[in-house]
Structure formats: structure tokens, C-alpha cells
């Protein structure tokens, strides 16, 4: 695997240990106020002609609201597809900023709102558009493939955008045409795709703070305690963790794999927000978080994304009420960023995504 020189990863808005402001959790909802708050959001979604599009990693109450009000809970590929196809004038994205930007790029005529615009992603933060552009300029012979977890400006510099559910197919497609690839930003997903496809891939050097923390030795120890358990791993995890998986896949792929494997116990190596949907579909099974570094010195996420956790019921109600927190994308950047996104969506129509054991579709 060819990896670019490490860049300075900027966690200014995340890593409190560097003496900088951490991601701010949303206001707590008490059991007493929750029913009225949920009712208020249901009413506001109707009044505002809005649809709620949520990621699997957000608060279970928001996931349930999205499903019961005709929105969706899904991975970033399906979030993009769904918001694009839905007739609502306003899309409320409960996720992180790049997801809101993707919705806006695909729907420039619609209003896109987010409960908290400061919900970031470590992959996005680690890929500043100016540095990335210089990296691309230095390798003009390569097709630029970027993961969805990037800013609009980075996507505007790309030939293709991919999500984890379709990355392998698209890279294999390019490799079959003899193309060399410049890949960004997730080095672990890139490494996984490179090993499967055999493509020539030059990697940007960034990682997801949630998935990078999963530890293979601790996972082996946990498997020894639960020998019957099946291990589900997202490919943003390190290679030695992926090697222990019974199924590797995108979030949607992992849910489908769990349904197919029909095990009593699962160990889940992705953000633990996904377990809500797994429990709903398989109420008789037990789901255990894969081990991270623990709550001690090196654990930054403990299997839950600090930025996904910024989506709460109070700030969701507030943005619907006030129409603040609108996602805006420079129209020219949006026009250019739309090209690699639409290329992926077009490709996805005829190429079903797959991952090892995931049953992804
Ligand atoms: S879980 Fe990782 S990849 Fe997903 S938004 Fe959070 S930091 Fe980014």
C-alpha cells in the first residue's frame, strides 16, 4: 500500500486532550418532556414540508422518528439517494456535516437543515481541500476517488465519490480499465479495497476516530469468552480487526449480514448507534460492542462518534422551528462536486454493492 506523507490531523473541534474544545453534546431530554418533544417534531415536519433523513449512528429516538414519519434511517449512500428522490421541500439531515453538504449538492433548490452544523467527521477534518488539491496536482496520472466523508470542496476535486457500500465495485471497475487510483481519505478502507481489488492505489493518510480504536487482541479475548458469536466489522477498521470478521460491510451491509447469519450473539465493530436497528430486527439476539482502547487514556470515541452524538431531540426541534442551521454550499463548488456524486449514483443503479460476507445490496 502506498501511503502519502502523514499530514497534521486537525481535531480542534474534537480533541479536548489537546486543550481544544470537544464536540458539544446536545441538551439532555428528560423522560417527562420526551413525549411532547416528539409530538412537536412530528407536527413541525408536516408544517415545514420536511423529511427527516438519519444515519444509523444517531440517537435511537431520532432513528425511530425518521422511520415513523416517512423519512429514512440508512447509510450515507441511501441517505443521498433518499433525500434526492423525496418530494419534500426541506431535508433535515441527522448525521454529520458532509452528509448535509451532499444533500445540498444533490438538491440545491431545497432547504437542507442540520440539528448542529458543528457535527464534523475526523476524515473530513483530516482532508483540507488546499492540501488535497496539491496532492492531486502532484499525481495527474491517477483517477481521484474520494470517500463520501469529505467536504464539498474535496469532492469538487474528485473524479468519483464512493461510499463504503460501493467502494470495492467502483475501484474494481476502474482497475479493470487499467486506471491508477488516488484514494482519500480513509487509509483502512482504502487498504481493504486495495487488497480485494489488487488496484494500484495511492492513499491519503487519515482515519475514522471511531473505527481506528477497535483492537484485535482485545477482540480475540472477547471472542474467546463468546465462541459462538459472529463478528461484524466495518471496513474503516484496521486490517488486523477486519481479519477477525465473519462479515465485513457498510452499515447497511452489516445489518443485512446479521439477519442472514442468524446468530444468537454478535460482536459489532462499528459505531454502537447501529445496534438499535439490529435489536429491532433481531430482538432475540445479543449485540456486544467490539472492544476499543477502553475508557482510559487513548479512547477518544469508545465506539460512538462524538459528532453523530451532537444530534439530539431539542436541537432537531429548534432547527425545524427556526429554520436556522441551513447547510449552504458555494454554487460553483456544488456544481463540480455533484459530478463525482452523480457518477457514483448512476453506477450504483446497475452494480449492486458487495462486501465479504455482508450480503450487501
Ligand atoms: S463515525 Fe467516523 S467516519 Fe463516521 S462520522 Fe464519525 S468520525 Fe466520521
CA of 22 to the centre of ligand 1 (A): 15
The answer to the question of residue 13 being in a domain is no
CA of 40 to the centre of ligand 1 (A): 29
- The domain tally of the chain equals 3
pLDDT attached to residue 23: 81
Question: Average pLDDT for residues 286-296, to the nearest whole number?
Answer: 81
Confidence class for position 300, pLDDT limits 50, 70, 90: low
pLDDT attached to residue 20: 37
The answer to the question of residue 67 being in a domain is yes
Is 138 found in the same domain as 203? yes
Average predicted confidence (pLDDT) for the chain: 90
The answer to the question of residue 267 being in a domain is yes
pLDDT attached to residue 294: 55
Is 275 found in the same domain as 258? yes
The answer to the question of residue 149 being in a domain is yes
Could you tell me where the beta strands, DSSP code E, fall in the chain? Answer: 2-3, 50-55, 72-74, 90-94, 111-113, 143-147, 160-162, 181-184, 201-203, 230-233, 247-248, 265-269, 286-289
Question: Average pLDDT for residues 164-184, to the nearest whole number?
Answer: 97
pLDDT attached to residue 19: 33
The answer to the question of residue 163 being in a domain is yes
pLDDT attached to residue 302: 83
pLDDT attached to residue 6: 36
Pocket of ligand 1 (CB under 6 A): 57, 96, 121-123, 149, 208-210, 271, 305, 307-308
- Closest to 49 in 3D by CA, of 82, 80, 85, 92: 92
- Closest to 106 in 3D by CA, of 87, 81, 127: 81
pLDDT tens digits for range 187-226: 999 999 999 999 999 999 999 999 999 999 999 999 999 9
Residue 180's CB is within 10 A of a number of other CB atoms, namely 14
- Whose Cα sits closest to atom 6 in ligand 1? 305
pLDDT attached to residue 361: 33
- CATH number of the domain that 281 lies in? 3.40.50.10800
pTM: 0.91
pLDDT attached to residue 11: 38
The β-bridge relationship of strands 143-147 and 90-94 is: unpaired
One DSSP character per residue, 225-282 reads H-TT-EEEE-TTS-HHHHTT-SEE--HHHHHHHHHHH--SEEEEES-GGGHHHHHHH-
Q: Evaluate whether 154 touches 127 at the Cβ level (below 8 Å).
A: yes
**Three-state DSSP class for 75?**
coil
Is 234 found in the same domain as 179? no
Structural domain span for residue 263 = 211-289
pLDDT for 82 beyond 50: yes
pLDDT attached to residue 358: 40
C-alpha cell read off for 107 = 438538491
The answer to the question of residue 156 being in a domain is yes
Which atom of ligand 1 is nearest to 98's Cα? 5
Q: How far apart are the first and last CA of the chain?
A: 28
Is 317 found in the same domain as 344? no
Question: Average pLDDT for residues 293-303, to the nearest whole number?
Answer: 63
Give the residue from 237, 258, 289 where a domain finishes. 289
Positive or negative, the CA dihedral 133, 165, 309, 232 is negative
Which atom of ligand 1 is nearest to 57's Cα? 1
pLDDT > 70 in the chain, percent: 89
Q: Which residues pair with 214 in a beta bridge?
A: none
Q: Evaluate whether 356 touches 193 at the Cβ level (below 8 Å).
A: no
Confidence class for position 80, pLDDT limits 50, 70, 90: confident
Is 202 found in the same domain as 219? no
Is 93 found in the same domain as 70? yes
- Whose Cα sits closest to atom 3 in ligand 1? 208
The answer to the question of residue 184 being in a domain is yes
The answer to the question of residue 82 being in a domain is yes
Residue 239's CB is within 10 A of a number of other CB atoms, namely 13
pLDDT tens digits for range 7-65: 333 333 333 333 334 688 899 999 999 999 999 999 999 999 999 999 999 999 999 99
Amino acid at each position: 500500500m502506498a501511503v502519502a506523507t502523514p499530514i497534521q490531523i486537525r481535531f480542534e473541534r474534537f480533541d479536548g486532550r489537546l486543550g481544544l474544545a470537544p464536540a458539544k453534546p446536545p441538551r439532555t431530554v428528560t423522560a417527562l418532556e420526551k413525549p411532547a418533544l416528539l409530538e412537536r417534531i412530528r407536527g413541525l415536519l408536516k408544517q415545514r414540508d420536511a423529511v427527516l433523513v438519519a444515519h444509523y449512528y444517531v440517537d435511537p429516538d431520532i432513528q425511530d422518528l425518521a422511520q415513523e414519519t416517512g423519512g429514512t434511517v440508512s447509510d450515507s449512500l441511501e441517505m443521498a439517494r433518499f433525500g434526492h428522490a423525496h418530494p419534500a421541500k426541506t431535508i433535515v439531515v441527522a448525521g454529520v456535516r458532509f452528509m448535509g453538504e451532499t444533500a445540498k449538492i444533490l438538491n440545491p433548490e431545497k432547504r437542507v437543515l442540520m440539528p448542529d452544523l458543528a457535527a464534523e467527521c475526523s476524515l473530513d477534518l483530516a482532508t483540507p481541500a488546499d492540501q488535497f488539491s496539491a496532492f492531486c496536482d502532484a499525481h495527474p496520472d491517477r483517477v481521484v476517488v474520494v470517500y463520501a466523508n469529505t467536504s464539498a470542496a474535496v469532492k469538487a476535486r474528485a473524479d468519483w465519490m464512493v461510499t463504503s457500500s460501493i467502494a470495492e465495485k467502483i475501484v474494481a471497475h476502474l482497475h479493470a480499465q487499467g486506471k491508477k487510483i488516488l484514494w482519500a481519505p480513509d487509509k483502512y478502507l482504502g487498504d481493504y479495497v486495495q487488497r480485494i481489488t489488487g488496484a494500484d492505489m495511492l492513499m491519503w493518510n487519515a482515519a475514522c476516530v471511531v473505527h481506528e480504536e477497535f483492537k484485535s487482541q482485545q477482540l480475540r479475548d472477547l471472542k474467546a469468552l463468546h465462541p459462538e458469536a459472529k463478528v461484524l466489522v466495518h471496513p474503516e477498521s484496521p486490517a488486523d480487526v477486519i481479519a477477525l470478521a465473519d462479515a465485513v460491510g457498510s452499515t447497511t451491509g452489516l445489518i443485512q449480514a446479521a439477519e442472514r447469519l442468524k446468530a444468537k450473539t454478535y460482536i459489532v465493530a462499528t459505531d454502537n448507534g447501529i445496534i438499535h436497528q439490529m435489536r429491532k430486527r433481531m430482538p432475540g439476539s445479543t449485540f456486544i460492542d467490539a472492544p476499543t482502547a477502553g475508557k482510559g487514556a487513548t479512547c477518544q470515541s469508545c465506539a460512538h462518534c462524538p459528532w453523530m452524538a451532537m444530534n439530539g431531540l431539542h436541537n432537531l426541534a429548534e432547527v425545524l422551528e427556526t429554520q436556522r442551521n441551513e447547510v449552504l454550499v458555494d454554487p460553483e463548488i456544488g456544481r463540480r462536486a455533484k459530478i463525482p456524486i452523480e457518477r457514483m449514483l448512476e453506477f450504483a443503479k446497475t452494480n449492486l454493492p458487495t462486501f465479504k460476507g455482508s450480503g450487501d445490496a
